[in-house]
Amino acid sequence: MSVRFDYRNAGLREHEVAYVRPLAEAALCAIEDRCGPGHEMLGWLDLPRNYDKEEFARIQAAAKRIQEQSEVLVAIGIGGSYLGARAGLEFVKGPFGNQLREKGVEVYFAGSNLSSDYLEDILHIIGDRDFSVNVISKSGTTTEPAVAFRLFKEKLETKYGKEGAKSRIYATTDKAKGALRGLAEAEGYETFVVPDDIGGRFSCLSAVGLLPMAAGGMDIEQVMQGCLSACSAYKNPSFLQNDAMLYAAMRYLMLMKGKQVEILASYEPALTMFGEWYKQLMAESEGKDGKGLFPVSANFTTDLHSIGQFIQDGSRILFETVLWVEETRHELTVPHDPANVDGLEFAAGLSIQEINEKAMKGTLLAHVDGGTPNLVVTLDQLSDYTLGELVYFFWKSLAISGYMIGVNPFDQPGVEAYKKNMFALLGKPGYEDAKSALEARLQK
């Protein structure tokens, strides 16, 4: 496997690990037998085997057309309809992928906030250049993407006319119902499907994430190959040979031992958005019924100069999962400078990756000594293939740990609360009573 898991620095005793083993094995069985809570949302489980090949070919053709017609793709979506594509593009192309323009079009993400400045900045970046839009929303009524889509649709229609705009809009939505499905059919946009049995945070390797990834120049065949290898490996019922099961068991033990926060710490800025994706996956899946670990992400060594103090020495509520990438895309070494004014000559000639590795190892030991246990996930490299493997590793592991703590990891009832209040305050029809009650509370 190009993804490997190590729990030697978790500070656990053998009998503790032995104790959770049957629980983890039972959780894996419930997933594979599709008999646990939310089992109807397990469409991701065999996705790399069962995905719609005809649609996959259309995604590749659409990505090619976007690349031929446009310099920029605006991908519009929020939550599960946004995070995976952005995480994947930055994982493979790095944080400066849009500027480097090695392959594919520039991809900008809109519809994941309600900031006028953010939207205006994207319009400014596009300027007079040709662009296309991929609007992604299962329901079609989520406010943030709906607002952004109106804006970019209007811009497309002004620039290319109604007919021209149609050939540049791609809608990824429910196969049959919802506002966006209706609009796409009425207008004649090319459409892709958000599968019924796959929730938002498990959807990035369906059309939801694959179209922006492919348009941005990623090799989505390789992504699916990586995902397939993980899909086979993490079916293994043998506890000690299944890294997804082991990671789930370790997270469960951390929770049992009073840890409340998991920090996903990486040493590559290309993984910053992957950390955002991980936070949604973990928080929406486990944070319910008064339970769950609170997921946080950090980028080291940057954040060692901010939250590092707390991790070393603050409340002992934390553990870390370190995401370490063995091979970098480029190798740079520290130049020699005989004057040695900065005192760095001892490191001259070392590769920056060697220094990063020493920082990772030194930090791990320091944090463990300070009472923050460490789990380590090692990746060979940041590639299309390893992305597929890593995404599936987290999906499977999270599903197992969700069952171990006794929640339905596949629903997200808590996400609706803010939406109801916002609709009421905006005066959406049907929310009149809630509106007056909320306004009275705000005036107190």
Binding footprint of ligand PA5 on the chain (CB under 6 A): 78-81, 137-139, 142, 145, 199-201, 284, 412, 415
Q: How many CB atoms lie within 10 A of CB 426?
A: 10
Structural contact between residues 140 and 174, judged by C-beta atoms closer than 8 angstroms: yes
Q: What are phi and psi of 238, to 5 degrees?
A: -80, 110
Kindly state the smallest distance separating residue 173's Cβ from ligand PA5, in Å: 8
Ranges of beta strands (E only) in 116-275 are 131-136, 169-173, 190-193, 261-266
Kindly state the smallest distance separating residue 345's Cβ from ligand PA5, in Å: 50
Kindly state the smallest distance separating residue 90's Cβ from ligand PA5, in Å: 19
Q: Which amino acid is at 214?
A: A
93 vs 138 by CB, closer to ligand PA5: 138
Selected catalytic residue, list 291, 419, 432, 439: 419
- Residue 174 corresponds to which tokens in the numbers above? 């429910």
> Containing H/E element for 298?
strand 294-299
Kindly state the smallest distance separating residue 386's Cβ from ligand PA5, in Å: 24
Q: How many CB atoms lie within 10 A of CB 47?
A: 23
For 234-351, where are the alpha helices, taking DSSP H only? 243-256, 272-286, 308-313
Location of structure tokens 């319910």: 288
What is the sign, positive or negative, of the torsion defined by CA atoms of 252, 257, 263, 268? negative
Kindly state the smallest distance separating residue 150's Cβ from ligand PA5, in Å: 14
Q: How many residues does the chain have?
A: 444
98 vs 137 by CB, closer to ligand PA5: 137
Kindly state the smallest distance separating residue 292's Cβ from ligand PA5, in Å: 15
In angstroms, the CA 122 to CA 151 distance is 11
DSSP letter at 205 equals: T
104 vs 200 by CB, closer to ligand PA5: 200
143 vs 378 by CB, closer to ligand PA5: 143
Selected catalytic residue, list 106, 268, 276, 284: 284
Which residues neighbour 69 within 8 Å (Cβ) at sequence distance 6 or greater? 130, 132, 167, 168
- Residue 341 corresponds to which tokens in the numbers above? 């004014």
Kindly state the smallest distance separating residue 203's Cβ from ligand PA5, in Å: 7
Does the annotation mark 419 as catalytic? yes
Selected catalytic residue, list 305, 330, 416, 444: 305
> Containing H/E element for 125?
helix 116-126
Q: Report the residue closest to ligand PA5, judged by CB.
A: 79
267 vs 395 by CB, closer to ligand PA5: 395
In angstroms, the CA 402 to CA 408 distance is 7
- Residue 170 corresponds to which tokens in the numbers above? 């791609």
**Adjacent-strand bridge partners of 106:** 72
DSSP letter at 292 equals: -
144 vs 243 by CB, closer to ligand PA5: 144
272 vs 412 by CB, closer to ligand PA5: 412
Kindly state the smallest distance separating residue 198's Cβ from ligand PA5, in Å: 10
- Residue 409 corresponds to which tokens in the numbers above? 């990891």
Closest C-alpha among 368, 428, 434 to residue 142: 428
Closest C-alpha among 1, 87, 3 to residue 378: 3
- Residue 128 corresponds to which tokens in the numbers above? 């007079």
281 vs 379 by CB, closer to ligand PA5: 281
Which residues neighbour 184 within 8 Å (Cβ) at sequence distance 6 or greater? 169, 171, 173, 191
Kindly state the smallest distance separating residue 280's Cβ from ligand PA5, in Å: 6
In angstroms, the CA 239 to CA 418 distance is 40
Does the annotation mark 162 as catalytic? no
93 vs 181 by CB, closer to ligand PA5: 181
Catalytic residues: 284, 305, 419
